[in-house]
Structure 1
């Protein structure tokens, strides 16, 4: 069980720009925020293949590429799109309250 379950203020809208992931630490969890158009998405920040930080990777629209071995993930769904990654990323619900971005971590 995660001791940090529930909604957490993560950032403000002006901190997340298109094609520039934002790295966050919420308790024990490393999270990456992505902007695609006017939408914000949250995933685990750690690649499921070799544990590199995805926020250091290259984002092109809805796709983030791991900086270590070039595995690619769909940021809206977390789906692994290319090898060497075979496991999808965890994703987290996002809501915007005014200028604040909040993410929901599971129990």
Structure 2
């Protein structure tokens, strides 16, 4: 799932029961990470454009060509509601 807050696209992912939120933007070329391949076991997302792999928990790139991290956002579960802490 993706959403927008103050012109920032954010993707929310269920990674094996852990709900994570990360900026939906590859730091290499600004592509939409949410269109890439999700590895639930490793909690990673692969950029569909050039294959950079990002850790969904930290936003850090694991492989090139990306080398800058993207923002992650704390998630709070309130019953059936998912809330993000976005500054």
**TM-score, normalisation: structure 1:** 0.76
Largest Rg, 1 or 2: 1
Higher normalized contact order (CA 8 Å, seq sep 6+, divided by chain length) = 1
RMSD: 0.8
Alignment correspondent of 2:29: 50
Which whole-Å deviations, capped at 9, do the CAs of 1:2-41 have from their partners, x for residues lacking one? xxxxxxxxxxxxxxxxxxxx21112311001111121100
Consecutive unaligned residues of structure 1, counting only runs of 5 or more, are 1-21
**TM-score, normalisation: structure 2:** 0.93
Consecutive unaligned residues of structure 2, counting only runs of 5 or more, are none
Give aligned pairs, total.
Answer: 85
After the TM superposition, list the runs of 4 or more consecutive aligned residues in structure 1 that deviate by more than 2 angstroms. none
Alignment correspondent of 1:25: 4
